[in-house]
Amino acid sequence: MKKLLVAAVSALALAGPVMAQDAAPAGARSDAARERGEAAIPPPVMSETRHTGVFGGQRIAYRAIAGETYLKDKDGKPLAAMVSYSYIKEGPKDPNRPVTFLWNGGPGSGSLWLHMGAFGPKRVVVPSDAKDDGAAPFPIIDNPESLLDVTDIVFIDPIGTGFSRALGKTDPADYWGVTKDAKSIAEFIRMWLNTHERWNAPKFIGGESYGTTRSAAVINELEGSYTDVSINGILLISSILDFSLAADAQGNEPRLRHQSAVDGGHGLVSRQGAEQARHGGGVRRRGPGVGHRPLRHGPAEGQRPDGARAGGHPAAAIALHRRVPGLSEQRQPAPVAQPLLQGAAAGSGPDHRPSGHPLHRRRL
């Protein structure tokens, strides 16, 4: 499966015209490299193609730009190639058009999962019910749920993932570490904004799993340095900002109570269910980790998922049983994503949406 997705993204990266990022002649760079006893570093590869698609019910013409951006030292020597995939709406320039930078987690994963599985203009068709995905070939189809109707999108492969890599004699470990990784991505974002003249656009960043941890580090590098890049918002997908909460141990019940508070605020669970979780709801009394294991399976057969049974199943306190209208059974989101997909912000009523985020104009 991973090989198929990499091959699909590779086809995009290698198709179309190739443009050099550097103005210096290739021969001059090769001569300088030979003088230093190093192998010559070729110019970065960049491909640009044009397409149209229907996203969020709108027909959008867009450019697809796939290729390498060289990160360099103070003397202009290329140190690493960061590969990205940009989708930019064509037409008259809109100063209010946002741009969203996305990455996956790992921290060793490329961006192809969000790219080819969620937000890109094309997606790979695989079962969504946790069944085995079988063998190739897998269809690649249009993705009407892409965000291109409301924002331009840039998928980023951090160094050491996807096709991104260290160049020449650069040690890839120079980019491996929470801060090192974040600094390289922040550098790329600044370069992208320069190249595409988008410094005045609304800017969002987002990640999945460890990518949410990366997002917190990147925002610090973007907004906490001399070359300040102000970000309008962050998308946290399958968030994990505190890895201690991943442990199936006593003391992690706040995760259940916090989720229940959000779900209760949007009317996704009964008041009794929300109150049950807010006060511990018997989860703590069951002992270390006991409250978490049943959550993976939901309420038992015949048990009402609305908290009607006193001291009932912990799933009664969160919206495990709720569906998002308009989505097929296979595409129903995880519980924690439901209030976000319905357009509601944590702490607001179910009819309110966060006006600063481009998704506030979308109803999935």
One pLDDT digit (tens) per residue for the chain, 364 residues? 444 444 444 444 433 333 334 444 555 555 555 566 567 899 999 999 999 999 999 999 999 999 999 999 999 999 999 999 999 999 999 999 999 999 999 999 999 999 999 999 999 998 877 788 888 899 999 999 999 999 999 999 999 999 999 999 999 999 999 999 999 999 999 999 999 999 999 999 999 999 999 999 999 999 987 778 999 999 999 888 877 767 666 666 556 666 666 667 677 666 665 565 555 554 444 444 444 444 444 444 444 444 444 344 555 555 554 454 555 555 454 444 444 444 433 333 333 333 455 555 554 3
| pLDDT score for 244 | 74
| pLDDT score for 20 | 37
Q: How far apart are CA 130 and CA 330, in angstroms?
A: 10
Residue 194, helix vs strand vs coil: helix
Give 3-state DSSP helix, strand, coil % of the chain, rounded to 5.
30, 20, 50
Q: Which tokens sit at 82? A: 């960061």
Q: How far apart are CA 59 and CA 279, in angstroms?
A: 49
Task: Answer whether 253's CB lies under 8 Å from 286's CB.
Answer: no
Dihedrals phi, psi of 265, to nearest 5 degrees:
-65, -25
pTM equals 0.68
Contacts of 138 (CB under 8 A, 6+ apart): 1, 4, 124, 125, 126
| pLDDT score for 274 | 56
pLDDT digits (tens, 9 = 90+) for 111-139: 999 999 999 999 999 887 778 888 889 99
Residue 75, helix vs strand vs coil: coil
Closest CA to 76 of 20, 27, 29: 29
